[in-house]
Amino acid sequence: MLFAAVALMAACGGGRDPRQLVVEPEAPAVLVGETLALTARAPGDGAADAEWEVQEPYGGGLLHSQGSRVTYVPPEAAGTYHLVLRTPGHKQTVEVQVLPSPALEPLSPRIAPGSSVTFRVRMRGLPRDTAVWTVAEAEGGEITADGRYTAPRRPGVYHVTATSTSDPSASARATVTVGAD
C-alpha cells in the first residue's frame, strides 16, 4: 500500500513558521484497527508544550495524550483525518491516512488435489466486504465470485487474492498448499 505524504500547514501561511513543530512520524499512516504513536517537538529538538485534538468532531478517531506524545486511535472507516496541534500563539494540522485493513480466512489452508475450500474476506475500513477473487498461477485452480476455490489436480503451492471492489488498493492474499494428506 502506498502511504500518502503528510501535510503540515502553518496557520499563517507562507514559508515555514519557526513556531511550527516537527511531527514524527513524518508521513503518519495507520491501518484500521491499529493505533499510531505521534510525537511533536520544537525545531532543534527543543521541548514542545503542545495540545492535540481531532479536527473531525464526530467519527475522526480518539487521542490519548501524554504531553508532546499522543496515541491516535483511528475510526473504523478508512480515509484522511486531521489532528490539530496547538502551541501558544500557533496552530498546525497533521494529516493522517487511515488505511483499510483487509483480512482473508482461511489464510493458509492445506487441501487435497481437486478439493475445494471457501474463502471469506473482511475489508475493515471500507463500506463493503465485496471483492474480486483471483488465482495468481495460470493453472493454480479456479475461484468463483463468492470465494469458493477448487484446487488443481497437480500438488503445489498456489495463491488466492481478494481485491476490494470499493478500493482496488486494498487486497488480501492467501497461500493454498495442495497436496496429498
Domain of residue 46 covers 8-99
110 and 164: one domain? yes
Q: Which residues make beta-bridge pairs with 133? A: 162
For position 44, what pLDDT does the model report?
A: 66
> Which residue among 99, 129, 156 closes a domain?
99
37 and 55: one domain? yes
Say which residue the cell 484522511 belongs to: 80
Positive or negative, the Cα torsion across 125, 129, 130, 132? Answer: positive
C-alpha pair distances (Å), 180 with each of 36, 117, 121, 158: 44, 15, 26, 15
For position 171, what pLDDT does the model report?
A: 95
156 and 127: one domain? yes
169 and 109: one domain? yes
84 and 122: one domain? no
Residue 2 in domain: no
Q: What is the pLDDT along the chain (181 residues), one digit of tens a residue?
A: 222 223 333 333 344 556 678 888 989 999 999 999 998 887 765 556 778 889 997 888 888 877 678 899 999 999 999 998 888 778 889 999 999 999 999 999 999 999 999 999 999 999 888 999 999 999 999 999 999 999 999 999 999 999 999 999 999 999 999 996 5
76 and 106: one domain? no
Residue 3 in domain: no
Which residues contact residue 98 at a Cβ distance below 8 angstroms, ignoring those fewer than 6 apart? 29, 30, 31, 32, 61, 74, 75, 77, 78, 79, 80, 81, 125
Residue 1 in domain: no
Residue 60 in domain: yes
For position 3, what pLDDT does the model report?
A: 28
Residue type, 149: Y
Domains in the chain, number = 2
Average pLDDT score, the chain = 85
Residue 127 sits in a domain whose CATH number is 2.60.40.1080
For position 49, what pLDDT does the model report?
A: 73
Residue 121 in domain: yes
Q: What is the pTM of this model?
A: 0.74
18 and 94: one domain? yes
- Provide the grid cell at 117: 475450500
For position 46, what pLDDT does the model report?
A: 59
For position 143, what pLDDT does the model report?
A: 97
